[in-house]
Amino acid sequence: MRSKIGKKGGLISAVVNPTDNGRLEFFDKACLLWNEQGLITYFSPSMPTADQMAGHEILLRENMIALPGLIDLHTHLPQYEFAAQGAAALLPWLTNYTFPQEARFADDAVAELQSLNFFESCLSQGTTTVVAYLTNHLSAAEIAFEEAARAGIRAYLGLTLMDRNVPPELLTDARRAEKDMASLIGKYHNKARSQFVVTPRFAISCSAELLSLCGEVSRAHQTLLQTHISENQHEITETLRLFPEAKSYAAVYDHYGCLHERSLLGHGIHLSDDERLLIRDRRSVIVHCPVSNNFLGSGIMPYSRWQKEHLRLGLGTDVAAGYSLSMLHEARQMTEMAKLRAFFDDEDCVVDIETALSQATIGNARAIQRDDIGCFAIGKRADIAVVDDSRCETLSDEERNHYASLKERLARVVYRHHPEMVTLTLIDGEIVFAREKT
């Protein structure tokens, strides 16, 4: 559902807010006010005066927790239907599940229903901004953009481009890809809350000509470029077989202009020293997908090590190898997989809740160069996820939980995820999802 709560809006609740240093601020009670444009005009633990609140329709959620809208930097819209199916190594999984499912999007009815479900599901998890792969079908991509606009979500969407090593029905060529991208950029890029993303699936499925086109288009139109890198050892071997002149997987993308400051590189688990230096030099972003990496047995990205090396990082659900669209669930897995990595590597690479939640909000906003979302501050956009942490409880209503500080409540939200704990999602102060009557 979508509904304006008034020309001006506001929220009073407990608030958890990420800061520039990657830590969190905790307010047991705070007030947010925003104007007609959905920009925050007031944020403080001190209540505003009656004059400041005049004309605002206030949502009172004092027993709940407000988080900045969550941001998902890597996921696949057409794969959501088969999330959690067919755990296997990456390449067989693509063949057995992904490619047959994506072929179904030649049917506009399938594309419409699945796009609607995907965006509604994102909003129901408190995700206000999503960067997603589509299929190779132009009509299905148009439908996805239209459904995203209807849902009200901030959507960065890309036509997934492949011209080899996939089933015939998923193939395109550089000439058609250029025409289709031009059409989608003209209709949807930087329109309302949508942006187009240049999307070569990965080097295995793209010829030199197609990769070169992707680099050119993304630079010419200043779009994001999303692709995959070094998720699986067999993938790396096959990439270097197809590009024997390349020194590394990252060097393939760099040669064809696909590494730049707007490039989002999914996974990046098995990067060499030289590759990381190259990626850092190009200011590209490595997007961590811990649930997916575990599900397909791909490995554990050393997030803390990459962070200490000053690589730009992001976080994404990577549905369907990731089996949930919840970025809070992804944040939990980010902390848990880091513990495993620390155990086996015998090094300090533990990731705490504050780091994980900061990455899912302000960190991901920075990765896509959005300084107007990701945290609460005057002038930022009123993108908000309101969480009812009582749904994570095991105690009856008559019992009091003794672990009731806001930090402890946040730990329950992250580690004891409940599918119905997000009760409201707002974008630009507009209610785009409500689990309750407002």
Residues 56, 11: Cα–Cα separation, whole Å: 10
pLDDT digits (tens, 9 = 90+) for 317-350: 999 999 999 999 999 999 999 998 888 775 667 8
Residues 234, 236: Cα–Cα separation, whole Å: 5
State residue 396's pLDDT score: 61
State residue 393's pLDDT score: 77
Which CATH number, 3.40.190.10, 3.40.50.970, 3.30.70.100, 3.20.20.140, labels domain 70-367? Answer: 3.20.20.140
CATH class for the domain made up of 3-69+375-434: mainly beta
pLDDT digits (tens, 9 = 90+) for 216-228: 999 999 999 999 9
Q: Does 3-69+375-434 match 70-367 in CATH topology?
A: no
Residues paired with 157 in a beta bridge: 132, 196
Half-sphere exposure of 165 (CA within 13 A, CB side): 14
State residue 397's pLDDT score: 61
pLDDT tens per residue across all 438 residues of the chain = 566 555 799 999 999 999 988 899 999 999 999 999 999 999 999 999 999 999 999 999 999 999 999 999 999 999 999 999 988 888 899 999 999 999 999 999 999 999 999 999 999 999 999 999 999 999 999 999 999 999 999 999 999 999 999 999 999 999 999 999 999 999 999 999 999 999 999 999 999 999 999 999 999 999 999 999 999 999 999 999 999 999 999 999 999 999 999 999 999 999 999 999 999 999 999 999 999 999 999 999 999 999 999 999 999 999 999 999 999 999 999 999 999 888 877 566 789 999 999 999 999 999 999 999 999 999 999 999 999 999 987 766 667 778 889 999 999 999 998 989 999 999 999 999 999 754
State residue 22's pLDDT score: 87
Query: Dihedral through CA 230, CA 233, CA 239, CA 244, nearest 10?
Result: 120
pLDDT digits (tens, 9 = 90+) for 277-302: 999 999 999 999 999 999 999 999 99
422-427, strands of its sheet edge to edge: 3-4, 430-434, 422-427, 384-387, 56-68, 8-18, 24-34, 40-44
State residue 83's pLDDT score: 94
Residues 153, 172: Cα–Cα separation, whole Å: 28
Residues 1, 401: Cα–Cα separation, whole Å: 33
DSSP-derived pairing of the beta strands 384-387 and 422-427 = antiparallel
Q: Tell me the three state secondary structure of residue 390.
A: helix
**Residue spans per domain, the chain:** 3-69+375-434, 70-367
Query: Within the chain, what is the greatest distance between any pair of CA atoms?
Result: 69
State residue 3's pLDDT score: 62
